Amino acid sequence: MKELLSGNAAIARGAYEAGVTVGAGYPGTPSTEILENFAKYPDIYAQWSPNEKVALEVGAGASIAGARVLVTMKHVGVNVAADPLFTLAYTGVNGGLLLVSADDPGMHSSQNEQDNRFYALMNKIPCLEPADSQEAKDMVGLGLDISEQFDTPVMLRLTTRVSHSQSFVELKEPGPRTLRPYSKDPLKYVMVPAHGRLRRVFLEERTARLKEYSENCPVNFIEWGDRSLGVITSGISYHYVKEVLPRASVLKLGLTNPLPEKLIRAFAAGVAQILVIEELEPFLELQIRALGIAAKGKELLPSYGELSPALMADRLSKAGFPVAREYLAAAAAGQEAAGEPLPGRPPVMCAGCPHRGVFYTLKKLKLIVSGDIGCYTLGSLSPLSAMDTCICMGASIGAALGMEKANPELARRTVAVIGDSTFLHSGVTGLMDVVYNGGTSTVLILDNRTTAMTGHQENPATGTTLLGKPAPEVDLAAVARAVGVNRVRTVDPMNLAELERAVKEEVAAPEPSVIIVRRPCMLLKKNTAAQPVAVDKETCVNCGMCLQLGCPAISRREGKAHITAIQCNGCGLCIQVCKKGALTKRGDENA
């Protein structure tokens, strides 16, 4: 049976068919839907971990115990999981272990665009790169077979276009799911130096055997065409090559670490010139050139952002390559519409979002805001513009402490802002650091009872698991007290006066404080009965205070504030900022 699936859904299906019984991960675009889809299959176990390191450690244990395992994360999550990964490469596996790294070229929703194929090279583990959903599904089974055959974790490296594009996938019945027997093997699993040295030698032997395997691996194949041009490519770029250079000979690499040296040499010998087309870094190109093969690649195409057929057609035609005529015509026709440039449409906090009042207050108090990763990062955008830093998951607290240590004058002007899921991911260690090293930072934990930005995943503080089972809720206030914070309070961000008072008092206090700002995400519990706010046009003096909230329901019409009733969720924040009392819930107003 054929089904139209996204790359992510195809991977979940592949894991189900290949007998994976344990899945673990941390949500992160573009990887999130893999585990969400996998969790829907029968007779499997799947979980969100507090962060990617723990997820991979759970995966390692499950593999050692004999299960086939799927571990999922976005590219930057692999940084968090890098510590177990580098040693898991030494221990190898019992049941097959597949680590999915979903990279984000073009940074659709990420803070950087690192090319995680280099992790595979550095770890000396195999890397598979699918080009579409069918390959994504097939490479799950293949990767698990390789993992077990060669005693290694395997990386399945996706990109956003593969994760979020849909194409047809042939579904199969699930295969057998048998646990491999567990046996104690300290030489393999206890990585003390003496054992590690033995496994270090094994790593080289394994790499040599993988290289040999790579030569005949079915996902590395040649499509001979015109011999005047040979293209070596991987991942989504393969499909762009087929459209833009339809006559070229193509070496499509699905297993990109380690590379098949003989196959590459044979291909190069069969064509007049070699072009390497890959997204992001010259990962293939550097290694191909190191073989002594003259190849062009990044001198023609950028090593940042996504590739596209249009971009390739433009650059390659200028360099004299035989680009498909329709793409040349398209490049010429694609003119910008004449006239004034258009206003942008940036993402925005939803109407009724509990984060809005927090950033309104922080801006009003002119505080330095050490920010973090989640929906609340939108607080950095105009008109709130209330964020000074955003680096990585959990960085807000450590960075706030660093600011204070560098310049004690900043201590009474700085706050850290972090979400509930992000705090549990890697913020709690930063908080310990503040207490331990005598910091006086004020940390706002924006507890909206979910992992919102990635689409509302459960986390250890929400009381539910990925499989929908009830779970104990982490008590964030108790955690803060337990690490030694004496000043811990909980406020409702919809009460601006209370919130402002709390922030002022805690920032002034010369000791660490935690303010838990608690209100569920508006999208979780939409109050459909809430009455929209109305504007009394007589009272409104057009001061624009309500517009400073950046609420998508509020605009200015004919010199007065205007509330679009169908957008308004009746949160009442604007009523609190209006100094004239012109905003009320008295009546309805048509949009």
Partner 1 sequence: MLKPINILLVGVGGQGTILATRVLAKAAQDAGYDIKVSEIKGMAQRGGSVVTQVRLGEKVYSPIISQGGADVILAFEKMEALRWLSYLKPDGHMIVNDQAIPPVPVLTGAAVYPTDCLARVKQAATHTIVVDALNIAIGCGNPRAANVVLIGLLARRLPIAKDTWLQALQARVPEKFLDVNLKAFEKGYAL
Residues 226-242: b if buried by 16+ CB within 10 A, e if exposed: eeebbbbbbbbbbbbbb
168 binds partner 1 (CB under 8 A): yes
145 binds partner 1 (CB under 8 A): no
Interface characters, 69-108, with partner 1 (x: CB under 8 A): ---------------------------------------x
φ/ψ of 389, rounded to 5, equals: -140, 150
Tell me the C-alpha distance between 534 and 368, whole Å: 34
- Which span sits near partner 1 by CB under 8 A: 75-83, 201-209, 325-333, 527-535? 325-333
446 neighbors 379 (Cβ within 8 angstroms): no
Nearer to partner 1, 205 or 326 (CB): 326
Quick one: angle between helices 52-64 and 82-91, nearest 10? 20
Interface characters, 443-482, with partner 1 (x: CB under 8 A): ----------x-x---------------------------
Using CB under 8 A, count the residues that bind partner 1: 63
| Minimum separation from the CB atom of position 166 to partner 1 (A) | 4
Written as six digits, the tokens of 187 are 């030489």
- Which span sits near partner 1 by CB under 8 A: 94-102, 185-193, 484-492, 548-556? 548-556
DSSP 195-219: HHHHHHHHHHHHHHHHHHHHHH-TT
DSSP 317-377: HHTT----HHHHHHHHH-PPPSSSPPPP----PPTT-TTHHHHHHHHHTT-EEE--SSGGG
Do the annotations mark residue 127 as ligand-binding? Answer: no
Interface characters, 217-256, with partner 1 (x: CB under 8 A): -------------------x--xx-xx-------------
Do the annotations mark residue 375 as ligand-binding? Answer: no
Scanning residues 347 to 366, which ones bind partner 1 (CB under 8 A)? 347-350
Written as six digits, the tokens of 481 are 């007290």
Nearer to partner 1, 85 or 280 (CB): 280
DSSP 564-585: -TTT-----HHHHH-SS--EES
Do the annotations mark residue 350 as ligand-binding? Answer: no
68 neighbors 95 (Cβ within 8 angstroms): yes
Written as six digits, the tokens of 380 are 């950095």
Which of 523, 545, 565, 575 touches partner 1 (CB under 8 A)?
A: 523
Interface characters, 6-25, with partner 1 (x: CB under 8 A): x-------------------
Tell me the C-alpha distance between 123 and 554, whole Å: 52
How many other C-beta atoms can be found within 10 angstroms of the C-beta atom of residue 107?
Answer: 13
Which residue ranges make up the annotated binding site for [4Fe-4S] cluster?
540, 543, 546, 551, 568, 571, 574, 578
Applying CB under 8 A, the residues found at the interface with partner 1 are: 4, 6, 29, 108-109, 132, 160-161, 164-168, 236, 239-240, 242-243, 308-310, 313, 326-327, 329-340, 342-350, 375, 378, 381-383, 453, 455, 523, 544, 547-548, 550-552, 554-556, 566
